[in-house]
């Protein structure tokens, strides 16, 4: 693991690091915010998964999460959204290839060599940060935005017992029924839908659901609202009697202005679960 940068931040440290990923077969970059309390012992962990076109840097610099995490004594991990490198497959469209890993493991060429974001986030990166930072990996929660919200919800439900809480900003909730999902699943997994994994929050909610609280915020003026499938997840949560809240925030769109406005609520929501 290489240190790219470390900066003093709200009494703690905001670092950016890289490592050679065996899972993705390329170098991967991620960021970790450690609050001041990490100098004295392991601290609980909040993962933030970013959306389409983003890297580790977007939420790290725009979401304003460090201020609230420092107040609560929580570390934040900001992974990248896809593999990177000159030999990594890409596409001209913004919603496929680099920046659009969709947090799944691809099985189709040319994507299958590098696009293993499910295994990377579920296994390799947690092991790496757990070994190299003072983190309490028994206390983890997860959050995400858009494509990252899709990832956060699916990780939370598919890995029971891993996360104490999950939240999302404008998540893609029903990718099996959306152009933000069907396009990428077809490319990464092939046209045979029987081979598509259960990486759909609405479908997973109809199954086991999540064994903890959920918080979702979506703006009423979200320019991608038709692609998100919020209604499908709301119906599934209601039918499941899932502990959770979906809030439609009047006038807000899909941007980081929206995320930063409600980030305090999300960090405090996770802190309540992490310190329970």
- Ramachandran angles phi, psi of 214, nearest 5°: -125, 140
Distance, in Å, from the CA atom of 244 to the CA atom of 16, rounded to the nearest integer, reads: 33
Task: Check if 202 is active-site.
Answer: no
Catalytic option among 167, 222, 266, 270: 222
Task: Check if 105 is active-site.
Answer: no
Catalytic option among 56, 254, 266, 270: 254
- The DSSP symbol for 116 reads B
Beta bridge partners of 13: 8, 34
Distance, in Å, from the CA atom of 115 to the CA atom of 82, rounded to the nearest integer, reads: 7
Catalytic option among 21, 141, 146, 202: 146
Task: Check if 226 is active-site.
Answer: no
228 vs 145, 177, 247, CA distance in Å?
A: 11, 9, 14
Residue 59, H or E segment: helix 57-62
Catalytic (active-site) positions: 146, 222, 254
């Amino acid at each position: 693991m290489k240190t790219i940068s470390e900066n003093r931040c709200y009494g703690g440290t905001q670092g950016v690091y890289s490592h050679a990923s065996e899972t993705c077969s390329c170098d991967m970059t991620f960021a970790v915010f450690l609050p001041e309390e990490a100098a004295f012992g392991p601290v609980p962990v909040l993962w933030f998964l970013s959306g389409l076109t983003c890297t580790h840097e977007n939420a790290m610099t725009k979401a304003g999460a460090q201020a609230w995490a420092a107040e609560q004594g929580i570390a934040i991990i900001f992974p990248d959204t896809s593999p990177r490198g000159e030999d990594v497959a890409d596409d001209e469209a913004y919603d496929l290839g680099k920046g659009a890993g969709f947090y799944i493991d691809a099985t189709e060429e040319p994507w299958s060599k590098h696009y293993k974001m499910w295994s990377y986030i579920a296994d390799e990166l947690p092991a790496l940060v757990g070994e190299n930072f003072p983190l309490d990996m028994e206390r983890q929660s997860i959050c995400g935005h858009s494509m990252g919200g899709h990832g956060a919800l699916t990780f939370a439900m598919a890995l029971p017992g891993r996360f104490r809480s999950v939240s999302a900003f404008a998540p893609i909730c029903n990718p099996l029924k959306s152009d933000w999902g069907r396009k990428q699943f077809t490319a990464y997994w092939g046209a045979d839908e029987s081979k598509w994994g259960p990486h759909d929050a609405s479908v997973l909610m109809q199954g086991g659901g999540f064994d903890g609280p959920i918080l979702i915020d979506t703006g009423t003026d979200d320019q991608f609202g038709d692609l998100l499938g919020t209604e499908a997840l709301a119906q599934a949560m209601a039918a499941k009697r899932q502990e959770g809240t979906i809030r439609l925030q009047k006038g807000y769109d899909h941007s980081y202005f929206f995320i930063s406005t409600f980030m305090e609520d999300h960090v405090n929501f996770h802190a309540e679960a992490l310190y329970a």
